[in-house]
Structure 1
Amino acid sequence: MNTSEIKIIKLKGNPRTRGEILGKQLKRLIKKHLNIIKLLIFEYYQTNPIEIINDFFKNTKILESAIKLTPHLIEEVEGVAEGSGNDFKEIFATQCIDELIWYKFEKNTRFSNQCSALGILKDKDFPSIIAQNVDHINIFRDYGLILHIFDHKTSLESFIYSLSGLIALTGINNRAIAVCTNGLSLELNYSIEGLPVSFIVREILAQETYNDAIEVIQNIKQASGQNYLIGSLDNIISFECSGNSIVQYPRDKRVNRIYHTNHALVNKDLLNSSLNIAHVMEENKSLERFNFLEKHLNDSSVIITFKKLRDILSSHEGFICRHPDETPEGSSTIASVIYLLSKSPEMYVSEGMPCSNEYKKFTFL
């Protein structure tokens, strides 16, 4: 799929209605996406995927946490299940790919996230910007889409980049609040009582102010190791989150920029795992990507124009723009997003690898 073909789904009404719209419009793709999840589980465990999913619900309280903390999002997922004609628990499980990493895929680095994110605080010439290359398993290519969500009680709107049937990967709202993520599930601790990453992203984007968005991170129990880069008109901030700890990763105030890949930098709540983290970092090129971003962002004399930013995200140096043939674990850059956080916020999306696909602009009316 190229950028011009990306699907845009408008979701209006109450949460259940929005979910039903999504489920009905993407019924075929959601079924295929769900079958991919089941296939991955079967390939790894040679076990009936339904047994693994039922085991996940039996041995965690993630669903209970979502019901308690975000009942509106549970209603939306119920709507997706109903609209697409699938079992609710199976659709909920697709929202929990980060959680399945530590629950059942903990020794399989194929399932590790490999996203690269960066933020640039505003100056006199440019607004604040945060951006991300979304790296995922190759099999999820061509499932990307944009959700344009309208809150049924307020004037809040959001653009969310996601996959078929998934409620969020990354996004921006019309209050100029945006969030990018980096998976840290193979290194940081988890909680069986936390809220899934996709739900936290949606909660951040449901906020009207930067301070309210920060409170979501600080006050909600996290299910998975994850870095959240949050931007607004006047601020950019990054938090490394784990099941037991939330630690701010400070931006370099000399240049007012920040960048993150897929290894923990400040959070010490490490997973008790037999995984060789150095080997994981070598496979997902996290350190190389971090060093590349540092090289291009830590010089305050270099102005980061929009073109310069696109060049950084499209670069093959440092493995920022990842191609399927470069990654033995079978992952690649499935999309790239740039959020301009002005009073009229803008979202730019390149579906597929940004080195070979143009960015498409999305604005709120």
Structure 2
Amino acid sequence: MDRLEGRSVIMKEIGGIPVVISRGAPYEIGYSHGKSHPDRVRKSYEYNLKSCLERGDVTKEELVRIAMGFVKPVERYNPDYIEEVQGIADGAGMKFEELMVLNSRTELQKLGWNKLDGGEKNRYQKALGEMEACTSIAVTGERTVDGATYVGQNWDNFVWSEECLIYHIIEQKNGRPSIAYCGEAGIIARSGLNSCGIGDGVNSLSTNAPVNLEGVPLQFLLRGVMDSRDLGEAIDALNGGRNAAVNNILIAQKDNEAVDVEMDSGCCGILYGADGILTHANHYVSPGHPRYPYLDVFKGNSVIRHHRSGKLLRGIYGKISLEDVQKVFSDHGNGPQSICRHRDLSLDRDKQTETVFSFVSNLTTLEMRLAPHNPCEGFLSIKPFDLL
């Protein structure tokens, strides 16, 4: 290896999740990321590869070919991200193509929709059987006890995901903000916050539309949001129909603003939290989306989580605190498919899902409250940029 290694510091764990700090240029950041926990990067790849093969209904060779086909769209979007993925691969002792598969896993898991005969109806049934669940919340300063803006989410996924997590803090040398997020090792971005006071939450959306194989995968779009200096820039990172698959990203900034961007096939719908509260789950809310001829694919628990989270917040007497948001994320109404989701032990372990972690960030103080397991078990506080 003849390229600079960069620096990675494993400062501590937070609730059993390793905290990793990476600094430098894109390749250096990636290399130190991969080198810090290569076992977790490898495990993240292997688990997600298995899921992509099962849900995408394709061979491994097809997965690799399609994942590598995303390289050029990502290079057009931001070539730094390909440099960082190469660094992760080298640091973890893995192949670049394996890290492209991992960072395209959201789209690769939906490939089965492209291959189905019978058109939109069959794709609808396929998508309905593979719905995932997450709940995101933003509360802006006019509704909070300290005048700050809060944003966070419950990340619901397969229980094996907890074996792959890191808490990653990145200090960039390219003029972009420092960022912090919790997510699977090997992924270049997930939900979190940056040093400019931008934060986000992400929710899976599903339609019976095929995946756009010339689009940009979700993980790279999320990094575009996290690299933004203001809310307008963050919206621009998603606008223009560049997305490879449908998804939702709720974005807030410290200047008491929050929007929700519902990415559709070739366009976006925007929701604005006019009353200072904005929530989202796993179905479309903006009028006219998804666009004809495609249909919104969702399960009933998404409707409950979306409306219930908003109802609980609006029902609070007086101003809303971080602790109030934590309580909403811990809610068990409509359980077990509640905002705080617990695993169903009657299922095989590889089919069990739960709230793997939860967080809520104060975008003014840049404090994150992180629940490293189900949020009902409690939150821990971290100020990630104080560690740089």
Say which of 263, 270, 278 aligns to 1:241: 263
- On the 8 A contact 1:112/1:186 being kept in 2, the answer is no
Aligned residue type for 1:281:
K
Over the matched positions of the two proteins, sequence identity in percent amounts to 21
Name the residue aligned to 2:62: 52
Once residues 57 and 38 of structure 1 are traced to their aligned partners in structure 2, the CA distance between those partners, rounded to angstroms, is 12
Q: Which runs of 5+ in 1 are unaligned?
A: none
Cα distance change on mapping 1:69 and 1:32 into 2, 3 Å = same
TM-score normalised per structure 1: 0.88
CA deviation string 1:163-211 (max 9, x = no partner): 0111122111111011111110345664222211111111111122222
Following superposition, the deviation at residue 42 of structure 1 comes to 4.4
Cα distance change on mapping 1:159 and 1:117 into 2, 3 Å = same
Aligned residue type for 1:217:
L
Once residues 46 and 151 of structure 2 are traced to their aligned partners in structure 1, the CA distance between those partners, rounded to angstroms, is 33
Once residues 271 and 110 of structure 1 are traced to their aligned partners in structure 2, the CA distance between those partners, rounded to angstroms, is 22
Name the residue aligned to 1:339: 361
Name the residue aligned to 1:39: 50
Is the aligned partner of 1:307 residue 2:326? no
Is the aligned partner of 1:324 residue 2:357? no
Aligned residue type for 1:174:
S
TM-score normalised per structure 2: 0.83
Paired residue secondary structure (1:364): helix
- On the 8 A contact 2:107/2:244 being kept in 1, the answer is yes
Following superposition, the deviation at residue 40 of structure 1 comes to 2.5
Paired residue secondary structure (2:290): coil
Cα distance change on mapping 1:115 and 1:327 into 2, 3 Å = farther
Paired residue secondary structure (2:340): coil
Alignment of 1:1-365 (within 5 A): 3-44=14-55, 48=59, 50-57=60-67, 61-104=69-112, 107=126, 111-123=130-142, 125-154=146-175, 156-186=177-207, 190-219=211-240, 221-234=242-255, 235-251=257-273, 253=274, 255-266=275-286, 267-270=288-291, 277=297, 280-282=298-300, 285-299=301-315, 301-318=317-334, 319-325=338-344, 330-342=352-364, 344-365=365-386
Aligned residue type for 2:32:
I
- On the 8 A contact 1:21/1:83 being kept in 2, the answer is yes
Aligned residue type for 1:141:
E
Following superposition, the deviation at residue 35 of structure 1 comes to 1.4
Cα distance change on mapping 1:173 and 1:162 into 2, 3 Å = same
Once residues 225 and 46 of structure 1 are traced to their aligned partners in structure 2, the CA distance between those partners, rounded to angstroms, is 19
- On the 8 A contact 1:6/1:146 being kept in 2, the answer is yes
Cα distance change on mapping 1:201 and 1:335 into 2, 3 Å = same
Following superposition, the deviation at residue 55 of structure 1 comes to 4.4
Root mean square deviation, CA, Å: 2.6
CA deviation string 1:210-232 (max 9, x = no partner): 22222212246111211111111
Paired residue secondary structure (1:12): strand
Once residues 184 and 165 of structure 1 are traced to their aligned partners in structure 2, the CA distance between those partners, rounded to angstroms, is 23
Q: Which has the higher contact order (CA 8 A, sep 6+)?
A: 1
Following superposition, the deviation at residue 238 of structure 1 comes to 0.9
Aligned residues: 353
